[in-house]
Chain A
C-alpha cells in the first residue's frame, strides 16, 4: 500500500504527468466550451433577433408599415465597400422608412447602433444595439440610461450642417457626456456615416423590391 502511494506520488512529479494533466484539462475545457457553444448558439441567435425586432419597433412605429420587416431586406455597399443589410419598411408598396445598422469603434470596442431614416432623409430614430463602454460613463448612450440618443430624431444630413455633425468639443452641435467624449463622438460619427450612406444610395434604398416581399 505504502509503496503504491509512493509510486503514485513519484509519477506525479514527472514532467510526463504534468504534460498529460495540462493537456487533459485543456481538452476538457475545450470540450465543455464547444458543448456550451453548441447548446447556447441557437438560443443566443434567437435572442439577438428578438432584440433586433424590439429595437426596430423602437425606431419605427408599427403604424408606419404593413410588411414583414425582417423579410424585406436589401443589401447595399457603403462607401467603404462593406455590404450593409437594409430593412425596408413599406406601406401600400411605398417605402416609409429604411432601417440599418451602423457601427464605429468607441472607447472600448465596437458600438453598434440601429438607425431608421424616412424617405425625406430625416432620422426617425436611433438606438444602440450593443457596446462595451465604461459603465456609468459611456453607457449613457443607452436609451434606458439617458435621453441623449433621442436627440437625433428629426435630424438629417443638412440639419445641422455637415460641420455640425460632431460633438461640441470638436466644434459640432452634439453634447458629450461628463467624463466621456470618445463614446458620443463615435456614435455621432457612425450616424453621420449612416446618413451619408443613405444620401448616396437613396435611389436603391427607396426602390421597392417586390420580389423580396414574397
Chain B
C-alpha cells in the first residue's frame, strides 16, 4: 500500500490529531498539562514510545492474527515503555529525573494502542514510523498549548522550570507573564484542564469552519468564473 506522506503528516498534526479529532489520551493529557514544560516533557516521551511501538507492531504485523492482536499490542507497548524507562534511567539520568515521572503514564495512553491498531498493523515499517512521529508531534503540540494556557491562567508563568528539562541554555524560555499573580487554582487542577481543553477544541472547530467557508467561497467563485466562460 503506497502512502501519501504529506496527507499523513496533515492528519497527525491537525485533521486527525490524537486530541483534536480522536479525543484520545485524555488521561495523561489532563494529568500532566499543569505547565507548558511538563506538557513538552510528556510529549517528547510519547513521541519516542509511539515511534518505537509503531515500528515494532508494523514489523510483526504479518505474524499477528486479528483474534489475539490486542493482547499482543499491549504486550509490545508495555515492553517498549519499560525498556525506554530503564534505558533512560541508566544512560540519560538527568533527563530521567525530569521525564521519569511521565513515562509510566504513557502505558495508559490509549492513543498508542489506537495507532498500532489503526495504522501500524496495516502498513509497512517506514510509513508506520512516520505516522508515529507525526501523531506524536501533533499530541505534543496540543500538550504544550494546553499546558501553556493552564500555566498562564493558573500561575501567571510560562515554561517555568524549562531549564531542568531542556538544559540551562533554555532558561530564556522561562517567563513570568503576570507579576505578583495570586494564582487561579482551578486551572492548575484537572477540572481546569477539562475546561481549557473544551475552549481549545471549540477554537479549533471555529478555525476549521472559517477555513472551510473561505475555501468554499473560493470554489464558488472559481465555479462561477468557469460557468461564465462556458456561457
Query: A140 CB to closest chain B CB, in angstroms?
Result: 11
Q: Does B79 contact A (CB under 8 A)?
A: yes
Q: Does B161 contact A (CB under 8 A)?
A: yes
Q: A33–B80 Cα gap in the complex (Å)?
A: 9
Which residue of chain A has its CB nearest to the CB of B161?
A: A145
Interface string of A31-70 (1 = CB under 8 A from B): 0110011011001100100110000000000000000000
Given the complex, which residues of A lie within 8 Å of B72, measured CB to CB?
Answer: 21-22, 25
**B63 and A21 contact, CB distance less than 8 A:** yes
Q: What does DSSP make chain A's interface, helix, strand, loop or mixed? A: helix
Query: B149 CB to closest chain A CB, in angstroms?
Result: 13
Q: Does B10 contact A (CB under 8 A)?
A: no
| Interface stretch of the complex, out of A11-19, A89-97, A117-125, A168-176 | A11-19
CB-contact partner of B68 in A18, A36, A134, under 8 A: A18
CB-contact partner of A178 in B63, B83, B185, under 8 A: B185
Q: A118–B151 Cα gap in the complex (Å)?
A: 40
Q: A74–B86 Cα gap in the complex (Å)?
A: 31
Query: B92 CB to closest chain A CB, in angstroms?
Result: 10
B interface residues (Cβ-Cβ under 8 A, vs A): 31-32, 34-35, 38, 60, 63-65, 67-68, 71-72, 75-76, 78-79, 82-83, 86-87, 89-91, 93, 101-102, 161, 164, 183, 185, 188-189
**A47 and B89 contact, CB distance less than 8 A:** yes
**B188 and A144 contact, CB distance less than 8 A:** no
Q: A33-B79, A40-B87, A47-B89 are in contact. Are A137 and B188 (CB under 8 A)?
A: yes
Query: B89 CB to closest chain A CB, in angstroms?
Result: 5
Which residue of chain B has its CB nearest to the CB of A50?
A: B93
Query: B34 CB to closest chain A CB, in angstroms?
Result: 3
Q: Does A29 contact B (CB under 8 A)?
A: yes
Which residue of chain B has its CB nearest to the CB of A46?
A: B90
**A33 and B65 contact, CB distance less than 8 A:** no
The 6 closest A-B pairs by CB, nearest first: A136-B34, A43-B90, A40-B90, A29-B79, A40-B86, A47-B93
Given the complex, which residues of B lie within 8 Å of A37, measured CB to CB?
Answer: 86
**B65 and A17 contact, CB distance less than 8 A:** yes
